[in-house]
A and B are shown apart, each in its own frame.
Chain A
């Protein structure tokens, strides 16, 4: 069982809606991530938080707004999305920033988002 919990599992939203994806981990990890994954493609990094501060924003449109309220929680606020934003959104965490020292990234089960 994954120790990274994501809610909701499935979300259908209209283009004018505001919704949020939530992620929680209790492994004491200090780095948290949001990835977006389209069908039959590898995950693409969106945001990285390190010690609750935004470390990386991979030029993500402002209709996606991340928030890290504390070291265990990571949110992704969604507003005015487009149908092409429909995808699997994966949250992940690691002890430190992944890199040359084998900090394994652990993923949640993902949130399937459909924008209509």
Chain B
């Protein structure tokens, strides 16, 4: 993707509720993929989920799922049943056109309220 955009700098969600984090991308490629990472305050960047453009079903990993809409060029992350430990920065990322590096969005800080 040439550009990744995350429009929500910060979000609050009540514990046990679901939350959607937005990500839009801009690419001229026919084949591409989007990644989501979680970064707690400790600093580690944790891989959450990936979906390729040719995948027919939306990707799911435990409480994480991707709502991938190619026509809208969006790849939103849905977290179900939020937990306090979900409080972190979340980054959407995709490969550049050359396919040799990741382009990151600006990130969304998610805060889960007890």
* Chain A residues near B91 (CB-CB < 8 A): 42-43
- The reply to whether A43 and B32 contact each other, CB–CB distance below 8 Å, is no
Please report which residues of chain B, range 12-52, place their CB below 8 angstroms from some CB of chain A when the two chains form the complex. Answer: 29, 31-33, 35, 37, 42-47, 50, 52
* Chain B residues near A66 (CB-CB < 8 A): none
Q: Give Cα distance in the complex from A105 to B101, angstroms.
A: 9
* Chain B residues near A107 (CB-CB < 8 A): 37, 44-47
* Chain A residues near B31 (CB-CB < 8 A): 100
- The reply to whether B42 and A100 contact each other, CB–CB distance below 8 Å, is no
User: Nearest residue in B to A89 (C-beta to C-beta)?
Assistant: B43
User: Nearest residue in A to B33 (C-beta to C-beta)?
Assistant: A102
- The reply to whether A98 and B99 contact each other, CB–CB distance below 8 Å, is yes
User: Given contacts A42-B105, A42-B107, A100-B31, are A105 and B47 in contact (CB under 8 A)?
Assistant: yes
Q: Give Cα distance in the complex from A72 to B31, angstroms.
A: 30
* Chain B residues near A101 (CB-CB < 8 A): 33, 52, 99
Chain A interface SS verdict (over half)? loop
In this complex, how many residues of chain A approach chain B with their Cβ under 8 Å: the count is 27
User: Nearest residue in A to B96 (C-beta to C-beta)?
Assistant: A99
Q: Kindly state whether residue B104 has any CB partner on chain A within 8 Å.
A: yes
* Chain B residues near A97 (CB-CB < 8 A): 99-100
Please report which residues of chain B, range 70-114, place their CB below 8 angstroms from some CB of chain A when the two chains form the complex. Answer: 91, 95, 98-102, 104-107
Given contact pairs A98-B95, A100-B29, A108-B44, a sample of 18 additional A-B residue pairs in the complex whose CB atoms are under 8 Å apart: A42-B105, A88-B43, A90-B45, A98-B99, A98-B102, A100-B31, A100-B95, A100-B99, A101-B52, A102-B33, A102-B50, A104-B50, A106-B47, A107-B44, A109-B42, A110-B43, A110-B45, A112-B43
